[in-house]
Structure formats: structure tokens, C-alpha cells
Amino acid sequence: MGGKRNAGRHTTGAKAGGFRVVPDVAADAGSGAGAARRATGANTTIAGERASSAGVVLFSAVLFALCFCIVLGAAQIATGSIGVMAVVVALVVALLAVSSVHIAQQWEKVVVLRLGKFNRVSGPGLFWTIPVIEQNTMRVDGRVRVTSFGAEETLTADLVPLDVNAVLFWHVWDAKAACTEVGDFTRAVELAAQTALRDAIGRAGAAEVAIRREQLDRELKRVLEEKVAQWGVTILSVEVRDILLPKELQDVMSLEAQAEQRKKARIILMEAEQDICEMMDDMGDTYAKNDAALRLRAMHLLYESVRETGGTVVVPSSFSEGFGDVLGDNVKKVVGGEVPPAL
């Protein structure tokens, strides 16, 4: 039941991405099934649709039948009958032909050994081997491979257990090295990716792992390139898909983030108040030196209040006469009608 529960959790995490709540996996941590799952928590597939090898099988079948029929026909012409010996010879010749002529798909490279030693890399297309002496040991697929891997309950530098899922894109560029330098290059790449991910998580804090994903991707790619280059493998990219945090830590980080946002909001408000105080101080100096500006400001505020409310304000004549001592002579003449206003 523990394995099924975790399998479902990983499927959901791959779709959602980001921070996730980790269910309680303490029951699985000490069990043999949980340990086995963590040791084999990687899966590699070929990117793209699965290609059919029916053409290669059909070619071998047609070649076998053709050689078999040719030998029987030659025996019929030579002896006038087909005996048991002719059938045996026809079978041997057909088997030798099938084991000598091969076809490699466009994306395949075939490692050929001669008497146990590396001889050449053949393919794609039609290639020949010497029966018994040469063997096409391994067919290496050169297409892009996708490896899904992860690290479960891995401790960070600040001792926080994290579950991290990632995906690795890679392909084999040297079929000889992949065949002769490592026993199972696919499994070796999977284990190398898991080890590199655990090491990278252990060197960083939980917040750093969660926030700096791109840096983690680049670090994993660099480490894996150095490790798998001798196996004839090229790392195309590494992408962290999901980071699962324990629920308790998620709540703490949420409170920390909220506090940080409140702190920033208060700092911005205080800076705005400081700017307003400086502006009001400058305005106070201006109004102290210029009584007309102060009165005009008062009239402007009165106008704004009337415009918003749509009401009417009755101003005493004495209030308007108060501007007489601060208005210029030209303005007085215009108001008094002595000089027509300029258009």
C-alpha cells in the first residue's frame, strides 16, 4: 500500500509543479519495499513514438526463404530430386545468410566484435558480418532518451527533508564507448543522475533549492557531463520538475513570506510618508513667504470640495476683498473694468 500511495503522489506532483505538501512516508522509510523503491526510482524511455522493427524481421524472413529455395532448386537441377541432405544443406545456407546480412535502422549503431575484440561500428542501413567469427553485440539507439529520476527524503544543508523530481534528456553519441566502457550505460546514467541530485540538494539550503531551480539545473548538467562523457553519452538538459516540501515547513515558509511582504509594504509606506513630509515642509516655507499662494490654495481646496459634492458655497464679499492687497495692479485694472482683458 505504501508503494501505491507514493506512486500516486509522484504522478500528481509531476503535473502540478512548484511547492507541494509531502504526505507522511515514515511507514515506508523503514520498510524494505520503500528502500527498494528509492534505489530504483528512475525510468528511461526513448523520446518520440516507438518505431516498428517489422521491416527488419521481414527482410530476414525473406532472405531465409530465398536462400532456402535457391539451394533446393539447385539440388533439384543437379540431382533431379530433393533429398534429406539437400534440405539440411538448404537450412544451413539460409541460416548463414541470415546471420551474415543485417539491417540497422536509421537511428541505430551496431557494435561488431570479431573473435571477442572490438572491430567496427556499423549502420545505419545494410551491413555484413562473418558468421561465427563476428557478432553484432549491441544495437545502440542514438535517439534522445528521457530519464525521470528523483531523490526522496534527501536532507538539505539545513537538515530539511525534501522530495525532488527531475527529468534528464540525453543521447548516445559514441556507440563503442557505450558498449565497451560500461556494462549497462542506461542504468549507469540513471544512478549517476540520482547521485548528482542528492549531492546538489545536500550542499544547499531548502529555500535555495526551492527558489534557484535554474542554478540547480545547470549544476546537475555540468556534473553529469563530466561523469558520463567517458561512456559516450551527451547530456542535453536537466530540468527539475517538482519540489515537495513537508507540510510543517510549508506553513513556516508561508508565514515567513507573509512577514517579508508586510515588512516591504511598511517600508514603502514609510518612504512615501517621508516624501510627503518633505513636500509639505517645502510647501509650508512657500506659503509662509507668499500669503497670496496660501489664499489661492485655500480657494482651490474649497473649489475641489464643491466640485465633488455638487453643492454651493456662499463667499462673503470681505473674503474676496482680502485678495486686493496681494493681487497685481494689472489684475486689479482688469477686475475693475478699466482695461479690457486680453484674448
- DSSP secondary structure, 134-155, as one string: EEEEEEEE-S-EEEEEEEEEEE
Average pLDDT over residues 302-314: 70
Q: Are 327 and 290 in contact (CB under 8 A)?
A: no
Would strands 233-246 and 18-22 be described as parallel, antiparallel, or unpaired? parallel
Instruction: Write out pLDDT tens, residues 212-249.
Output: 888 888 999 999 999 999 999 999 999 988 888 777 76
- Of residues 45 and 25, more confidently modeled: 45
Portion of the chain with pLDDT greater than 90, in percent: 19
Residue holding cell 495692479? Answer: 329
User: What pLDDT is stored for residue 231 in this prediction?
Assistant: 92
The better pLDDT of the pair 137, 30 is held by: 137
What is the CATH code for 2-48+143-247?
3.30.479.30
Interval 283-287 mean pLDDT: 76
- Pairing relation of β-strands 108-114 and 117-122? antiparallel
Q: Would you kindly state where each structural domain of the chain is located, as residue ranges?
A: 2-48+143-247, 54-140
Residue 314 buriedness (CB in 10 A; 0-12 / 13-18 / 19+)? exposed
- Residue-wise pLDDT for 108-127, tens only, equals 899 999 988 889 999 888 89
What integer best gives the mean pLDDT of the chain? Answer: 76
Q: What is the pLDDT of residue 3?
A: 41
Beta-strand ranges (E) seen in the chain are 18-22, 42-46, 101-104, 108-114, 117-122, 125-128, 134-141, 145-155, 161-172, 233-246
**Grid-cell match 507541494, residue found:** 20
Lowest mean pLDDT among 38-52, 160-174, 223-237: 38-52
User: Percent of the chain having pLDDT more than 70?
Assistant: 74
Answer yes or no: is pLDDT of 34 > 60.
no
